[in-house]
Structure 1
Amino acid sequence: MKSLNRSQRSRFPIPFFGLALVLLVFLASPTRSCTEQEKSSLLQLLAGLSQDGGLTASWRSNTDCCRWEGISCSLNRMVTDVVLAYRGLEGSISPFLGNLTSLLRFDLSHNLLSGGLPLELLQSSSILVLDVSFNRLTGGLSELPSSTPVRPLQVLNISSNLFTGRFPSTIWEVMKSLVALNASTNSFTGQMPTMSCVSAPSFAVLELSFNKFSGNIPPGLSNCSLLKLLSAGNNHLSGTLPDELFKVTTLEHLSLPFNWLEGELKGIINLTNLVTLDLGKNEFRGNIPESIGELKKLEELLLDHNSMSGELPSALSNCTNLVTLDLKVNHFNGEFTKINFLSLPNLKILDILSNDFTGTIPESIYSCSKLTALRLSFNHFHGQLSEKIGNLKSLSFLALVNLSLTNITRTLQILGSSRSLTTIFIGFNFLHETMPEDDNIGGFENLQVLSMNYCSLSGTLPGWLSKLTKLGMLFLQSNQLTGPIPDWISSLKLLFYLDLSNNSFTGEIPTALMEMPMLKSDKTAPKIFSELPLYFFSPFVEYLKPGAFPKVLNLGINNFTGVIPEEIGQLQGLLLLNLSSNKLSGEIPQQIGTLTNLQLLDLSSNHFTSTIPATLNNLHFLSKFNISNNDLEGSIPTAGQLSTFPDSSFDGNPKLCGLMIVNHCGSAEAASESIISREQIGSKVIFAIAFGAFFGVGVLYDQMVLARYFG
């Protein structure tokens, strides 16, 4: 867009001396201001704003509007630019702006404007660049009258608004100079609009992603001889890629992810100028054709989450400019060694998660010195991790989940030499080995995420973890670790996500856990920068957003004893607290009620006694709550947050009463129900055990299935 502005300013070249003469005459002539009509039109815009971003101080009716903030004029004092981006403007866009007959550039992007887009702006006989992106504009775009003459608009950016309805077809008929259209991130429906490139021969950029367009990709693309970018991801498009598309040989960026597109990729090799090919998260099938090697300029190849299969063609090695290769969640198979990574010196991201590759990890991968992210998880590789991985000096993200790796001590010693690593996933490996102790492990100065889950590792929490001063997330669930949690845990000052569930830890919950700085602070956890999206699954919540994760303390399914320390009230940052399935006793501390950020609280299957603290009603963000299978008594609060949870949250506490469970407080029926025969109790216990076993198997199955998409 900047280049357009520069070219527009210089489209009438004036010799230097001529320009000096014009300026001299202009400066010597009496001062002229903008016309009253233009000033009035701009003031109409100001009048329609409820928040004007301080414009009132500059936009005064008794001053020259050419000197107002955000306004530029030509030498003959006609308004040419209205640029008011990032001003915090609220209100509507005045249709009177259409009266600015010399306006070239109109930019109200990144504000909070509402209402519709005035048709007068689209019908302008002068505007070249119209940008109202990143606002709250609503409604549909009106069809232009058939009598509308040709308009000079070159760039139209209406992205990131709330527009709805079908995209008007008449825009193409009158915008014969259109070069770029960005209508992404709205709610447009109906058929995807295709430009009539016969009418707009210079059209080069069409961005329609994040809408609700449906149906097939319509015809008309073959006429777009200058089209360089076509992006329509995150819609509801279906069918196959039309043959016409493969005739647009000027295409450099083709991005159609998150749709329902299908078919094979045979014709794609005609697009020899492609730099980006993103067809991920569709229903494409078949293999990658051997002719892929003809795409010499290709830098990004993203085919993830499809149903593609077959062996990778060796010709992929000819795409020597590749920077990103993402093939995850497909059915590719065969030897991965067919790709000669020595010929891919620019490769930064390699992701083949969840395929059927076999053989060994190719040694040539370690020649890709620019590699920052490597995810090989859930394939059928065999063999051990090579020491040559230390050659990858830029490697930040590494995921080797479920690759039948053995010798965890040696693996960690090798990885410790990779100083740039921030994220390591090596779970589902090293089965029944022992967690290595202090003397064997070093390095990891920059590690933020460490996952060694589902390994059935024995031993205790090793002291070398205390040296990982930048660690923010630690996943050790589903191992066989024992012993108490050591006090050095509180020295991990950045740790905000700790999952030690499903182990055999013993002892009391240490007060050191209550001193963890990030869990005590209610400030947002530091963002985890990751080269690839991180996927985690707990029994309750699945987090798919990369970067920002909740503060979690999960100690469920262990052998902890004693009481919950009253200092638990210090953990003001916690969003999830799980202490279920332990041997904890005593009262539920009232201090938990001060953890007002909690969204999940699970204290089930312990030996808690006494009443439910009324302070728990202060947990207004609580969406999941479970205190079942304890020995609690008294009434369940009938008002507040706790009254919104189902009876299953309170099951297995025969001394509890309340409106949401069978045992109603204070009624004759409750009194009779409280005298239950041993036979009845026995039957309930049997049912509870059977239900628990069924539920446990279900959760285990879910975790096993969903685990295919972790790391």
Structure 2
Amino acid sequence: MPTLCLLVLMLCSAYFISCCTDHERNCLHFLAGLSQDGHGGLAASWRHGTDCCSWEGITCSSTVGKAATITDILLASKKLEGSISPSLGSLPGLQRLNLSHNSLSGGLPADIMSSGSIVILDISFNLLNGDLQDSPSSSSASGRRIQVINVSSNSFSGRFPSSSWEKMENLLVLNASNNSFTGPMPSFLICIRSSSFAVLDISYNHFSGDVPPEIGNCSSLRLLKAGHNNLSGTVPDELFNATSLEHLSFPANDLHGVLDGAAIIKLRNLVVLDLGFNIFSGNIPDSIGRLKRLEEIHLNHNSMAGELAPALGSCTNLKALNLGSNYFSGELGKVNFSKLSGLKSLHVSYNSFTGTIPESIYTCSNLNALQLSFNKFHGQLSFRIANLKSLTYLSLAENSFTNISNTLQILKSSRNLTTLLIGGNFRDEEISDDKTVDGFENLKVLAMENCPLFGNIPIWISKLKNLEMLFLFNNYLSGSIPVWVSILNSLFYLDLANNSLSGEIPAELTEMPMLRSERVTSHLDIKILELPVYTGPSPKYFTVSDFPAVMILENNNLTGVIPTEIGQLKSLLSLILGSNNLHGEISETILDLTNLEILDLSNNHLTGTIPADLNNLNFLSELNVSNNDLQGPVPTGGHLDTFPRSSFDGNPRLCGHMLDQDCDDPVIVDVPQGSSRQGGYKAIFVIAFGAFFGVGVFTNLSITPKPDKNGFKSLRDIPQTRFH
């Protein structure tokens, strides 16, 4: 092998071919050992006896007549595992080092940070951890050429190093986001040495304390992202001296204060302003209309109030306006939306806006997301909404809109709608079973909950072939559950709770294709999607990151037995059938629902024993079979032992240690004739579960405002476990 290497070097010298040196080859060898690609990966090209300048991911300089030197090591997404060797810091000509998107662990050697040749360093999206070390005191920071440092999406912790980093006079970009850095936000005296410093991203860490005023010295700073930390105090006035800023982002901190109109207009180049999820108060200053380059404004989830500044209509490049969850009031029509032709997303939910939807909104032909829920809007929907040809997401929930028949006839022409949330309106109207309602062919989510609406479940829903989630809970819908639900091939989330539905649970319901599959395949855009979830007397809308497969039929008048075919719904995570008139035994086929996390069969007339094999449902975290006619021992020896007594109460013939009823003792049952669960047991159920939920053992408590058929309020739980 040494003879072959010598031969390669002689050939390189004779024909002026660029060849790496022995030192460089030795520095690289450890990388080949980190490859997990097998013989088809790096090992295929990084062969002994070959010139390392020809190896995959390696680039050398090619000056004729001079020895070659390695300039680039570009090994992103190569399935590398193991630690980074300090030897890479001794490569004299290395300029670009990219080891991102691998599974490297351990720390970042200080020798690499002190390299005098590296210009671009990218080790993002790995498993690196520990503290980032300052460079050795003997190294000269002023001699470093480094311009870009990306250490994002790792597990680095501790205080952010400063003494040497702040002396890097050529640094342009620093991305340390998505780590676990602590302590104060770096003061960035770096800007005194590096006048061209342009990009700083330290978001998604644990920095605390005030925003340092020295940041205003960064006269060339164009992007500043420090969101999702623990920063507090006010935004210092000095920050607005960084007049080159285009992207200012501080969401999800504890910052407070007001938007100073005189200060904010200094940022004349601002394109993105994101101060959401803080404690800012006051109103939006009129001067914001002078920021002509603004494309995104995110002030959601603050404590801002007052009427909207008409000057917002002068931000003619605006694409996204998010003012949700504040205390804004007055009419939305204060802003002339006809000037905002490029607007794509308007979010003003959870405020106190009044009046009707301003007609000028319907001129925003590029609008694809319109969120107006939880305000005080009223009136009927305008036919002009059909002008919004790009609209995919519409939320009008919890306002005072009227005439549901007219609304559906208008919206059916919005052919691109994928999400329609109109619950909490059309109070006490009858839902039309109008067969002329068509369109909606792309609809994936339909929510018409909490109105309450009268009538049967309309047949036009059967035409929604792409429907994935259907929310009709908390209405006065009657009749039976239609068998055509089974032909909705994509449906995996069905909530019909708190209605007056009757008849048996149709066996056809167990033919739903998506629920019979091993896993749910959703095509929903989770970036903007908010869904109705009960958290008190009325539903709230929460953004969710993933979607469980759910069937919720509780608090109706359903009769008959639980279909034996229920075990075919393999992807179900939650099955909630409580507060009906079901009878018969707990079907053994429920044991086939191996993904089940929540099972609620409470407040029915079920008989027989609790299947012992429920202990084999490994993911089952919540079980409620209370207030039935079950008998025999509660199964022990598995995770059913961890459930509280309230899960089994109200079954006088049940026994077991958690019920203080020894199974060897005779069971005395004293139940008045004709009152199996009328009133008494339900009252116990409500009190017990109310106390249980109150101490936080169960999550996502939901108490519906509509009394159940026995005069008591139902408890609902929309499961979000394993989906955060």
Same fold (TM > 0.5): yes
**In the alignment, which residue of structure 1 is the partner of 2:94?**
103
SS at match of 1:481: strand
Residues 1:45 and 2:31 are matched in the alignment: yes
Residues 1:136 and 2:127 are matched in the alignment: yes
SS at match of 1:41: helix
Residues 1:175 and 2:161 are matched in the alignment: no
SS at match of 1:535: strand
Q: Aligned pair in 2 of structure 1 residues 436, 547: CA closer, same or farther (>3 Å)?
A: farther
**In the alignment, which residue of structure 1 is the partner of 2:229?**
235
Per the TM alignment, residue 408 of structure 1 is displaced from its structure 2 partner at its CA by 0.6
Alpha-carbon distance between aligned partners in 2 of 1:39 and 1:703, rounded to the nearest angstrom: 73
Matches for 1:269-418 after TM superposition, within 5 Å? 269-418=265-414
Q: Aligned pair in 2 of structure 1 residues 635, 543: CA closer, same or farther (>3 Å)?
A: farther
- The residue type paired with residue 321 of structure 1 is N
- Among 15, 23, 29, the alignment partner of 2:15 is 29
Worse-superposed segment, 383-392 or 684-693: 684-693
Per the TM alignment, residue 684 of structure 1 is displaced from its structure 2 partner at its CA by 13
Q: Aligned pair in 2 of structure 1 residues 507, 684: CA closer, same or farther (>3 Å)?
A: closer
**In the alignment, which residue of structure 1 is the partner of 2:720?**
none
**In the alignment, which residue of structure 2 is the partner of 1:73?**
60
SS at match of 2:657: coil
- The residue type paired with residue 155 of structure 1 is V
- Among 496, 510, 521, the alignment partner of 1:514 is 510
- Among 196, 202, 205, the alignment partner of 2:199 is 205
Q: Aligned pair in 2 of structure 1 residues 56, 30: CA closer, same or farther (>3 Å)?
A: same
**In the alignment, which residue of structure 2 is the partner of 1:56?**
43
Post-superposition Cα deviations, 1:510-558, rounded to whole Å, max 9, x if no partner, equal 0110001001111233131256231342579999554631111110111
8 Å contact from structure 1 (residues 525, 548) kept in 2: no
**In the alignment, which residue of structure 2 is the partner of 1:11?**
none
8 Å contact from structure 2 (residues 492, 520) kept in 1: no
Alpha-carbon distance between aligned partners in 1 of 2:671 and 2:507, rounded to the nearest angstrom: 40
Q: Aligned pair in 2 of structure 1 residues 133, 305: CA closer, same or farther (>3 Å)?
A: same
**In the alignment, which residue of structure 1 is the partner of 2:185?**
192
The RMSD of aligned alpha carbons is 2.6
Q: Aligned pair in 2 of structure 1 residues 316, 449: CA closer, same or farther (>3 Å)?
A: same
Per the TM alignment, residue 696 of structure 1 is displaced from its structure 2 partner at its CA by 7.0
8 Å contact from structure 1 (residues 44, 96) kept in 2: no
Per the TM alignment, residue 641 of structure 1 is displaced from its structure 2 partner at its CA by 2.8
Alpha-carbon distance between aligned partners in 1 of 2:363 and 2:34, rounded to the nearest angstrom: 61
Post-superposition Cα deviations, 1:557-587, rounded to whole Å, max 9, x if no partner, equal 1111010111001100111110000000000
SS at match of 2:255: strand
8 Å contact from structure 2 (residues 396, 423) kept in 1: yes
8 Å contact from structure 1 (residues 370, 394) kept in 2: yes
- Among 116, 120, 145, the alignment partner of 2:107 is 116
Matches for 1:235-634 after TM superposition, within 5 Å? 235-266=229-260, 267-529=263-525, 532-537=528-533, 546=544, 548-634=546-632
Give me the TM-score of the superposition, normalised by structure 1: 0.91
SS at match of 2:288: helix
Alpha-carbon distance between aligned partners in 1 of 2:516 and 2:47, rounded to the nearest angstrom: 52
SS at match of 2:106: coil
- Among 197, 209, 212, the alignment partner of 1:215 is 209
Give me the TM-score of the superposition, normalised by structure 2: 0.89
8 Å contact from structure 2 (residues 269, 293) kept in 1: yes
8 Å contact from structure 1 (residues 397, 530) kept in 2: no
Per the TM alignment, residue 419 of structure 1 is displaced from its structure 2 partner at its CA by 0.8
Per the TM alignment, residue 192 of structure 1 is displaced from its structure 2 partner at its CA by 0.8
8 Å contact from structure 1 (residues 302, 327) kept in 2: yes
- The residue type paired with residue 645 of structure 1 is F
8 Å contact from structure 2 (residues 18, 61) kept in 1: no
Post-superposition Cα deviations, 1:133-168, rounded to whole Å, max 9, x if no partner, equal 000001000122333212111000000000000000
**In the alignment, which residue of structure 2 is the partner of 1:664?**
662
SS at match of 1:456: coil
Post-superposition Cα deviations, 1:79-103, rounded to whole Å, max 9, x if no partner, equal 1111111111111111111121110
Alpha-carbon distance between aligned partners in 2 of 1:212 and 1:551, rounded to the nearest angstrom: 34
8 Å contact from structure 1 (residues 441, 464) kept in 2: yes
- The residue type paired with residue 554 of structure 1 is I
8 Å contact from structure 1 (residues 519, 574) kept in 2: yes
Aligned length: 676
**In the alignment, which residue of structure 1 is the partner of 2:85?**
94
Post-superposition Cα deviations, 1:636-667, rounded to whole Å, max 9, x if no partner, equal 1212232221111111111111232211333x
Alpha-carbon distance between aligned partners in 2 of 1:355 and 1:542, rounded to the nearest angstrom: 13
Residues 1:125 and 2:124 are matched in the alignment: no
8 Å contact from structure 2 (residues 582, 606) kept in 1: yes
Per the TM alignment, residue 403 of structure 1 is displaced from its structure 2 partner at its CA by 1.8
Per the TM alignment, residue 45 of structure 1 is displaced from its structure 2 partner at its CA by 3.1
Q: Aligned pair in 2 of structure 1 residues 104, 300: CA closer, same or farther (>3 Å)?
A: same
Percent sequence identity over matched residues? 55
Instruction: List gaps (5 residues or longer) in structure 1.
Output: 1-24
- The residue type paired with residue 15 of structure 2 is S
**In the alignment, which residue of structure 1 is the partner of 2:147?**
154
Post-superposition Cα deviations, 1:289-317, rounded to whole Å, max 9, x if no partner, equal 01111111000000000000011111111
